[in-house]
Chain A
Amino acid sequence: MDPARFFAASRLAIVAGKGGVGKTTVSAVLARAASRARRDALLVEVEESSGLGARFDRDEPDYHESILWDPGDPPGAGSVTARTLTPDDALVEYLTDHGLDRISRRLARSGALEIVATAAPGIRDILLLGKVKQLERASTDQLLVLDTPASGHAVSFLRAPALLLDSVQVGPIHTQARDALALLTDPDRTRVLLVTIPEETPVTEVVQTAYQLEDELGIALGPLVVNRVATPPPPTSQPVAELAQEAGIALTDDEIATIERASAFRQARAEVQAEQLERLARELPLPQIHLPAVSEADVGRRQVDLLARAMLDSINALDERTVTPTRGDAT
């Protein structure tokens, strides 16, 4: 599929996944890949210090937009910018916009949000989604990438609008919730990209999450991003000793044993991975984007760019018919 079309398929891409699967890195990579495909990308995180800035060797973004990758690198490429949204900031802005300037400061300062958020859970999420909706409305030609909260709260975060519609029947919050729900359930506006890694528990969890999002919440899913996919080792049918002899290389028994040990380990890991990828394909009928395993020591600008190129290759290889979101009655 043409990456330009891929990144234009919806205006908001929500990246979700359990802790430890590299969700923030994938968000960064997605934004950078979009910028390489000539689309500006705005990364939105709803949690402070997730290390998004570090992924670009920059300072951590705050509530105001900051630039993480300048446009035109390479020529024609879009920019990557970022904002960190907090419910408190969103509340103050919301109330100010609604002519409640004076009270908003008092609310925020007194910590009232905590009481109000407890009285109506999901209100923080609505405030954040309300702000995301506003950004989505304001920016028709850029891709919004939303990095959802860590620690497995993605589903409850995305469920908040439906939940609040029930508990708050009238007023501005009700309107916000309704608008947020409309945003989330419109496949032309929103797609969720789930992230996982080819290991047992992450695969089990992503399958569950996918069905929850699609069936319970009616949110369209984009391709599944499988992170940390190792290149399988080449098949070796011949014993190491024989290979060495043929090549005229003298190896000690210890050295041969070391090679065999290393090869067996890689082979075993590759089998686990193949098994989990197969299970994933069987249990979750979604196209997959694979990202290679890179050194985890420090995922910075260089690795993000490398992974973005791998993502673009993977997108190029996708069959468009399996990717483009369709409205309910379309085929």
Chain B
Amino acid sequence: MNEPLADAERWGLVELLSGHDVVICAGSGGVGKTTTSAALGLAAARAGRRVVVVTVDPARRLADALGLGSGGLGDEPVRIEGVGPGELWAAMLDPRATFDRLIARHASPDQAERIIANPFYQNMADALSGTHEYMAAEKLHDLAGDERFDLVVVDTPPTRSALDFVDAPTTLTRFLDHRLYRVLMAPTRRMTRAVGVATGAFVRTVSKVVGASVVEDAVEFFSAFEGLEEGFRDRAHEVADRFRSPTTAFVLVTAPRADALTEARWFAERLEAEGIDIRAVVANRVQPRPMSGDPGRFREVARSQAGTSLGDLCATVIELCDGSDSETALLADLVEAIGGVPLVTVPVLDRDVADLAGLEQIAAALYGTA
């Protein structure tokens, strides 16, 4: 049962990730993904690598710890002072800015301006499901090709299913290639009469439900976007390939709680189906076990001294041992289910990470030197 733990100790995360230039931290909300990404980045920088950490929605104190505090946060990587011998940079994902740049790269200046000013585009950049995920992927692809860095660590957006992240490039291109696009375009394209009548009715119905201006914006967007589909598709393929590159590592971040583990297992299965390996599992907020071995003696005293201070204290030992054992069993199940990947556990912390020293503590736990 302890085999995975032993593996992680033997290999260590530093070595495990040394051959990779992209590390993606995936997991459900509230498991400490952002903190894990930052700590991984810090440790790699300490080991001499030039690292950029891309965070999506850092808690305020972590943002402060990374020097991304109020006003200083942005799309453009910022170097964090006092970390060596490597370098640590941090950036916050701005999906809109990333999308605008993507448009600007593919379109002529006039066309880009038309697209970026379109309300439908703006809604798409801000609210279409999958866009933030794709932009995170786009950003990581961009930074992976940036000569300033030799390691990019990304934490995935807090989507319900972290897999949206992997699917996002295809989802967005499918959306932009949508056959409905042709339907919406029908009124301006003078299609054959039969089709025109049908789609006309269709567009009229949609207009009736949501208002004509909404439909006009959509039509205007798709017409402005015309001709960009192929460039977008190629880029999306490139980004999707990045996920499957042997130098990209997925790290599954979880916590020993039923909901987080269920999600982690499901995510692992989907990744496997996509042909993507998980390199390691990081379990945060793990309860320490106050002793090794069988706590039978304490059970005995807890029983014979029930109701006294000593009895209560022994009951606490039992409770913590039982809690820790059940967490260990849950984590072992997860590791076994995904083929025995290395597992690294980070103990539960009293406080949120508020500065580099706090991050340092987690980094030490991640690298087995705590």
Given A168-B210, A171-B208, the answer on whether A200 and B259 have CB atoms closer than 8 Å is no
Q: List chain B residues, Cβ under 8 A from A100.
A: 205
Given A106-B202, A262-B290, the answer on whether A255 and B59 have CB atoms closer than 8 Å is no
Q: Is there a chain B Cβ closer than 8 Å to A96's Cβ?
A: no
Contact of A243 among B128, B184, B309 (CB under 8 A): B309
Q: List chain B residues, Cβ under 8 A from A323.
A: none
Q: List chain B residues, Cβ under 8 A from A1.
A: none
Given A236-B309, A265-B288, the answer on whether A297 and B330 have CB atoms closer than 8 Å is yes
Nearest CB in chain A to that of B287: its residue: A265
Q: List chain A residues, Cβ under 8 A from B262.
A: 51
Give the Cβ gap from A45 to chain B, nearest Cβ, in Å: 12
Given A47-B160, A111-B180, A265-B320, the answer on whether A103 and B205 have CB atoms closer than 8 Å is yes
Q: Is there a chain A Cβ closer than 8 Å to B192's Cβ?
A: no
A115 near B180 with CB under 8 A, answer: yes
Q: Is there a chain A Cβ closer than 8 Å to B158's Cβ?
A: yes
Q: List chain A residues, Cβ under 8 A from B326.
A: 295, 297
| A interface footprint on B302-314 (CB within 8 Å = 1, 0 otherwise) | 0011001110111
Nearest CB in chain B to that of A122: its residue: B127
A123 near B175 with CB under 8 A, answer: no
| A interface footprint on B235-276 (CB within 8 Å = 1, 0 otherwise) | 000000000000000000001111110100000000000000
Contact of B28 among A20, A106, A296 (CB under 8 A): A20
B313 near A20 with CB under 8 A, answer: no
Given A244-B310, A259-B313, the answer on whether A51 and B259 have CB atoms closer than 8 Å is yes
Nearest CB in chain A to that of B124: its residue: A118
A110 near B210 with CB under 8 A, answer: no
Q: List chain A residues, Cβ under 8 A from B305.
A: 247, 249
Nearest CB in chain B to that of A300: its residue: B258
B260 near A201 with CB under 8 A, answer: no
B202 near A173 with CB under 8 A, answer: no
Q: Is there a chain B Cβ closer than 8 Å to A234's Cβ?
A: yes
Q: List chain B residues, Cβ under 8 A from A111.
A: 178, 180
Q: Complex Cα distance A284/B218, Å?
A: 43
Q: Complex Cα distance A51/B260, Å?
A: 11
B317 near A298 with CB under 8 A, answer: no
Q: List chain B residues, Cβ under 8 A from A259.
A: 290, 298, 313-314, 316-317
B123 near A121 with CB under 8 A, answer: yes
Q: Is there a chain B Cβ closer than 8 Å to A167's Cβ?
A: yes
Which stretch, A5-13, A31-39, A68-76, A149-157, touches the partner chain B? A149-157
Nearest CB in chain A to that of B258: its residue: A296
A151 near B313 with CB under 8 A, answer: no
Give the Cβ gap from B333 to chain A, nearest Cβ, in Å: 10
| B interface footprint on A277-319 (CB within 8 Å = 1, 0 otherwise) | 0000000000000000001111100000000000000000000
A19 near B123 with CB under 8 A, answer: no
Residue among B127, B214, B313, B314 facing the most chain A CB atoms (10 A cut-off): B313
B310 near A258 with CB under 8 A, answer: no
Q: Complex Cα distance A264/B216, Å?
A: 65
Nearest CB in chain A to that of B158: its residue: A151
Given A116-B210, A150-B160, A171-B209, the answer on whether A247 and B308 have CB atoms closer than 8 Å is yes
Contact of B320 among A119, A170, A201, A266 (CB under 8 A): A266
Q: List chain B residues, Cβ under 8 A from A295.
A: 323, 326
Nearest CB in chain A to that of B351: its residue: A200
Q: Complex Cα distance A171/B214, Å?
A: 12
Q: Is there a chain B Cβ closer than 8 Å to A112's Cβ?
A: yes
Q: Is there a chain B Cβ closer than 8 Å to A24's Cβ?
A: yes
Q: Complex Cα distance A107/B199, Å?
A: 11
Q: Is there a chain B Cβ closer than 8 Å to A21's Cβ?
A: yes
Q: List chain A residues, Cβ under 8 A from B205.
A: 100, 103, 107
Q: List chain A residues, Cβ under 8 A from B201.
A: 103
Q: How many A-B residue pairs have CB under 8 A?
A: 177
Q: List chain A residues, Cβ under 8 A from B71.
A: none
Q: Is there a chain B Cβ closer than 8 Å to A169's Cβ?
A: yes
Chain B interface SS verdict (over half): helix
Q: Is there a chain B Cβ closer than 8 Å to A272's Cβ?
A: yes
Q: Please report which residues of chain B, range 27-79, place their CB below 8 angstroms from some CB of chain A when the two chains form the complex.
A: 28-31, 57, 59-61
Q: Is there a chain B Cβ closer than 8 Å to A83's Cβ?
A: no
Give the Cβ gap from A197 to chain B, nearest Cβ, in Å: 9
A107 near B291 with CB under 8 A, answer: no
Q: List chain A residues, Cβ under 8 A from B255.
A: 20
Interface size class of B (residues with CB under 8 A): 35 or more
Contact of B206 among A18, A21, A116, A238 (CB under 8 A): A116
A266 near B316 with CB under 8 A, answer: yes
Give the Cβ gap from A99 to chain B, nearest Cβ, in Å: 11
Contact of A119 among B59, B183, B210, B260 (CB under 8 A): B210
Q: Please report which residues of chain B, range 318-368, place their CB below 8 angstroms from some CB of chain A when the two chains form the complex.
A: 320, 323, 326, 330, 348, 350-352
B211 near A168 with CB under 8 A, answer: yes
Q: List chain B residues, Cβ under 8 A from A18.
A: 29-30
Give the Cβ gap from B100 to chain A, nearest Cβ, in Å: 17
B316 near A120 with CB under 8 A, answer: no
| A interface footprint on B144-161 (CB within 8 Å = 1, 0 otherwise) | 000000000000001110
Nearest CB in chain A to that of B347: its residue: A265
B290 near A299 with CB under 8 A, answer: no
Q: Is there a chain A Cβ closer than 8 Å to B215's Cβ?
A: yes
B178 near A115 with CB under 8 A, answer: yes
| B interface footprint on A57-90 (CB within 8 Å = 1, 0 otherwise) | 0000000000000000000000000000000000
B313 near A243 with CB under 8 A, answer: yes
Q: Complex Cα distance A240/B298, Å?
A: 13
Q: Complex Cα distance A188/B30, Å?
A: 32
Given A20-B29, A106-B202, A204-B59, the answer on whether A238 and B290 have CB atoms closer than 8 Å is no
Nearest CB in chain B to that of A267: its residue: B316
A150 near B29 with CB under 8 A, answer: yes
Q: Complex Cα distance A259/B310, Å?
A: 9
A296 near B256 with CB under 8 A, answer: yes
Give the Cβ gap from B30 to chain A, nearest Cβ, in Å: 2
Give the Cβ gap from B25 to chain A, nearest Cβ, in Å: 15
Nearest CB in chain B to that of A245: its residue: B310
Q: List chain B residues, Cβ under 8 A from A262.
A: 290, 313, 316-317, 320
Considering the complex of A and B, which 9 residue pairs feature the smallest CB-CB distances, nearest first? A20-B30, A19-B29, A121-B127, A262-B290, A19-B30, A243-B310, A262-B317, A258-B291, A119-B214
20 additional contacts (CB under 8 A) given A21-B30, A251-B301: A106-B202, A115-B180, A118-B123, A119-B123, A119-B217, A120-B211, A121-B126, A151-B159, A167-B214, A200-B351, A201-B352, A240-B310, A243-B308, A249-B301, A249-B305, A258-B317, A261-B290, A266-B316, A269-B350, A295-B323
